[in-house]
């Protein structure tokens, strides 16, 4: 679907560019004719013009002004395009180009009348231009620009007089989207395959006669329930992240007491920390301002951060939650003495499905921190991390505080 949308947009763009190119070509011709007319008038010679008497000087000046205005409008239209547009004459010299051409090629602009070497040094582009001119039909292709790490679609359209219009379109975002989609499908398939395989094994065991043994059957049914809950959690996290990324989530933003959300979060996770053999501590300075937030989303973000801290901190360690106010913002800080995160993982830690560690019994899909990031962003806040491998991590979630006039 995305490919057809891209092709449709490209066809519309090509039609627009052809119109602009023809208009500019016509303007250049009329401009040249008017220049010759001015020279003729200056030498008191007859004006080389269509049949009839030479136009008065006032009419000539008016036409000159009109042409200049049309030229400026067309140049503005071309300059506004994100796609690169250039026109080559029959000698492959540059007749016109918009700034996007040189941005896409990562090259210095070439003057009109010169050969655009940064483009024509690519044999694929030269072939497209030559084929378009030889066959009088549009040609399309793609080129890689390794020095920029980009891929560009190239369209060559033949025009009158041996001229060729070349349009460049950056395909990198499209290919990146395709890669992201493939990775998304692969990750979802991987995370759903494990619980489905476990469920199938349980069902087959029950089918083979385990149902006749009540204690064994109860154990298998408990395992089956756990796998179903795991799948539900993955699906719920995917839906939550999808809504946050698309901007379709409904936020109920209001002043929220920091002390209350911290107390509720600690109360929820204290039993889990105790069960894991961890010490859970908090620190809140007096007179903290409220934050502007959706209370449930804030609780979800803090829960994801604490859940991660508990999950990746060995028994005997410590998890700490505190809040601070500074410069009209409130920072929620979650620190742990866990295994920490290696430097190469830190830039990717908030990406969906990304896991710096895989621990036994970890049923998460690697979506928790991505959800935290998007919750921060939809509130106009931010989240960051500092970590040393083997010494623990420090996550900071920052949200705007309620001002005095709120």
The 3-state secondary structure of the chain reads CHHHHHHHHHHHHHHHHHHHHHHHHHHHHHHHHHHHHHHHHHCCCCCCCCCCCCCCHHHHHHHHHHHHHHHHHHHHHHHHCCCEEEEECCCCCEEEECHHHHHHHCCCCCCCCCCCHHHHCCHHHHHHHHHHHHHCCCEEEEEEECCCCEEEEEEEEECHHHCEEEEEEECHHHHHHHHHHHHHHHHHHHHHHHHHHHHHHHHHHHHCCHHHCHHHHHHHHHHHHHHHHHHHHHHHHHHHHHHHHHCCCCCCEEEECHHHHHHHHHHHHHHHHHHCCCEEEEECCCCCCCEEEEHHHHHHHHHHHHHHHHHCCCCCCEEEEEEEEECCEEEEEEEECCCCCCCCCHHHCCCCCCCCCCCCCCCCCCCHHHHHHHHHHHCCCEEEEEEECCCEEEEEEEEEECCCCC
164-221: per-residue pLDDT in tens?
888 888 888 777 777 766 766 776 676 677 677 777 887 887 777 777 777 877 887 8
Q: How many structural domains are present in the chain?
A: 3
Is residue 10 one of the residues assigned to a domain?
Answer: no
Q: Are residues 132 and 210 in the same domain?
A: no
Where residue 67 sits, what CATH number does that domain have?
3.30.450.20
pLDDT at 126: 87
Is residue 12 one of the residues assigned to a domain?
Answer: no
Residue 20 has pLDDT above 80, yes or no: no
Q: Are residues 156 and 288 in the same domain?
A: no
Q: Are residues 147 and 40 in the same domain?
A: yes
Q: Are residues 47 and 100 in the same domain?
A: yes
This model's pTM is above 0.85: no
Q: Are residues 384 and 245 in the same domain?
A: no
Where residue 215 sits, what CATH number does that domain have?
1.10.287.130
Is residue 186 one of the residues assigned to a domain?
Answer: yes
Residue 10 has pLDDT above 90, yes or no: no
Residue after which a domain boundary falls, among 174, 195, 222: 174
Is residue 107 one of the residues assigned to a domain?
Answer: yes
Q: Are residues 297 and 378 in the same domain?
A: yes
Is residue 73 one of the residues assigned to a domain?
Answer: yes
Residue after which a domain boundary falls, among 216, 249, 282: 249
User: Which of 64-68, 162-166, 168-172, 330-334 has the least mean pLDDT?
Assistant: 64-68
Q: Are residues 283 and 193 in the same domain?
A: no
pLDDT at 365: 62
Q: Are residues 163 and 79 in the same domain?
A: yes
pLDDT at 24: 55
Q: Are residues 231 and 336 in the same domain?
A: no
187 versus 387: the higher-pLDDT residue is 387
311-324: per-residue pLDDT in tens?
899 999 999 999 99
Q: Are residues 240 and 267 in the same domain?
A: no
pLDDT at 405: 41
Average pLDDT over residues 43-71: 55
Give the model's confidence band at 337: pLDDT under 50 very low, under 70 low, under 90 confident, else very high: very high
Q: Are residues 372 and 285 in the same domain?
A: yes
Q: Are residues 235 and 257 in the same domain?
A: no
186 versus 119: the higher-pLDDT residue is 119
Sole residue written with tokens 């920490």: 340
Average pLDDT over residues 226-251: 72
Most confident of 113-117, 190-194, 211-215, 305-309: 305-309
Where residue 350 sits, what CATH number does that domain have?
3.30.565.10
Is residue 243 one of the residues assigned to a domain?
Answer: yes
Is residue 3 one of the residues assigned to a domain?
Answer: no
Residue after which a domain boundary falls, among 225, 249, 273: 249
Domain that holds residue 222: 182-249
Is residue 6 one of the residues assigned to a domain?
Answer: no
């Amino acid at each position: 679907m995305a490919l057809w949308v891209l092709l449709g947009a490209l066809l519309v763009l090509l039609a627009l560019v052809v119109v602009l190119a023809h208009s500019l070509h016509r303007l250049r011709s009329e401009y040249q004719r008017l220049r010759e007319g001015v020279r003729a008038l200056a030498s008191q010679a007859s004006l080389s013009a269509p049949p009839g008497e030479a136009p008065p000087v006032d009419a000539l000046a008016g036409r000159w002004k009109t042409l200049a205005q049309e030229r400026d409008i067309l140049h503005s239209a071309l300059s506004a395009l994100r796609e690169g547009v250039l026109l080559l004459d029959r000698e492959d010299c540059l007749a016109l180009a918009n700034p996007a051409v040189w941005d896409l090629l990562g090259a210095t602009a070439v003057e009109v009348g010169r050969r655009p070497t940064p483009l024509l040094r690519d044999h694929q582009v030269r072939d497209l231009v030559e084929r378009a001119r030889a066959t009088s039909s549009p040609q399309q292709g793609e080129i890689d620009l390794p020095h920029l790490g980009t891929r560009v679609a190239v369209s060559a359209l033949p025009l009158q007089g041996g001229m060729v219009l070349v349009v460049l379109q950056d395909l990198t975002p499209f290919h990146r989207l395709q890669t992201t989609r493939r990775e998304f499908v692969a990750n979802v398939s991987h995370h759903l395959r494990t619980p489905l395989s476990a469920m199938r094994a349980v069902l087959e065991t029950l089918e083979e006669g385990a149902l006749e043994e009540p204690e064994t059957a109860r154990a298998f049914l408990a395992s089956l329930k756990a796998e179903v809950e795991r799948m539900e959690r993955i699906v719920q996290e995917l839906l939550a992240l999808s809504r946050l990324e698309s901007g379709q989530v409904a936020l109920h933003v209001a002043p929220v007491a920091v002390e209350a959300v911290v107390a509720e979060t600690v109360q929820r996770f204290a039993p889990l920390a105790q069960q894991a053999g961890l010490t859970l501590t908090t620190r809140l300075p007096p007179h903290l301002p409220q934050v502007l937030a959706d209370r449930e989303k804030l609780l979800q973000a803090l829960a994801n951060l604490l859940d991660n801290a508990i999950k990746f901190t060995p028994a005997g360690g410590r998890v700490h939650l505190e809040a601070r106010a500074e410069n009209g913002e409130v920072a929620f800080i979650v620190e742990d003495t866990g295994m920490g995160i290696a430097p190469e993982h830190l830039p990717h830690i908030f990406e969906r499905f990304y896991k710096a560690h895989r621990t036994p019994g970890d049923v998460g899909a690697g979506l928790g921190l991505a959800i935290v990031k998007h919750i921060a962003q939809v509130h106009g806040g931010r989240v960051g991390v500092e970590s040393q491998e083997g010494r623990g991590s420090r996550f900071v979630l920052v949200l705007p505080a309620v001002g005095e006039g709120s």
